[in-house]
Amino acid sequence: MADISVTLAGVPLTSCVYNASGPRTGSSAAMSKIAKSASGGVLAKSATIASQKGNDLPRTWHEDNGKASLNSEGLPNSGIDYYIDPKTISETMGESPTKPYMVSISGKNIADNLQMLQKISSTIESGSVNIAAVELNLACPNIVGKPTIGYDFEQMEDVMKQVASLPCFSGSKPLFPLGVKMPPYFDRPHFEMAATILNKYKH
């Protein structure tokens, strides 16, 4: 069997494929199924400061044969405290405690994102949980009234600048790896503009 393991930002993954933060990652019960699979890691649902129900129903569509689906959920989630709670992580990882568990955040504003990153930092520093990495979601397009930050390059630059200034990233070695979830781009100049911003703040 081919070896598809990889080390990403210092995090070893037994497979280069793992789940996206999406509809089936909102609870420990759902994430435990991913932990038991061949997925290289487990990425939790993008969290907000407080729990929220998301968009009104109906917000999902499934093809009759089960081969396709569409969703516009609006980030229903249990709030950041749930996804960094030792009980949640233990229930999720179960018999796969060495598989990387990763947290995703998508605040309603930059202040929310900074607050959540500080919460995560404090939790990791306490030694009570093993959070391998964090995803900063700048790509979620399905929240009414909230623009996709990944398409607003000026705003994206400001977000990355403020995030990079946090104590958990300001030392010689970050407290944890931070990835950025980006929206799809279709024009080469947009790829270049996004890459310029991200490369400016890579550690």
CB neighbour class for 87 (10 Å; exposed up to 12, middle 13-18, buried from 19): exposed
* Other C-beta atoms lying within 10 Å of the C-beta of residue 174: 18
- Phi and psi (nearest 5°) for 12? -75, 130
Q: Dig out the tokens for 159 from the structure.
A: 């977000």
Query: Given this model, what pLDDT does residue 187 score?
Result: 96
The b-or-e profile of 102-126 (16+ CB within 10 A means b, else e) is bbbbbbeeeebbbebbebbbebbee
Query: Given this model, what pLDDT does residue 45 score?
Result: 96
Query: Given this model, what pLDDT does residue 85 score?
Result: 97
Exactly one of 136, 140, 178, 180 is catalytic; which is it?
140
* Calpha distance 187→170 (Å, rounded): 33
Query: Given this model, what pLDDT does residue 144 score?
Result: 57
Verify whether residue 140 is a known catalytic residue.
Answer: yes
Q: Please report the DSSP string for 166-179 in residue order.
A: SHHHHSSS-SS-EE
Query: Given this model, what pLDDT does residue 118 score?
Result: 97
* Calpha distance 94→189 (Å, rounded): 44
Q: Is the separation of the CB atoms in 115 and 55 below 8 Å?
A: no
Query: Given this model, what pLDDT does residue 87 score?
Result: 96
**Rounded to whole angstroms, what are the CA distances from 194 to 61, 93, 161, 166, 197?**
31, 34, 14, 21, 5
Consecutive 10-residue averages of pLDDT for the chain (203 residues): 92 95 90 95 96 80 83 85 97 90 95 97 93 94 70 94 94 91 95 96 80
Relative to beta strand 42-47, strand 11-13 is: unpaired
**Where in the chain does DSSP place strands (E)?**
6-8, 11-13, 42-47, 60-62, 69-71, 101-105, 133-137, 178-181
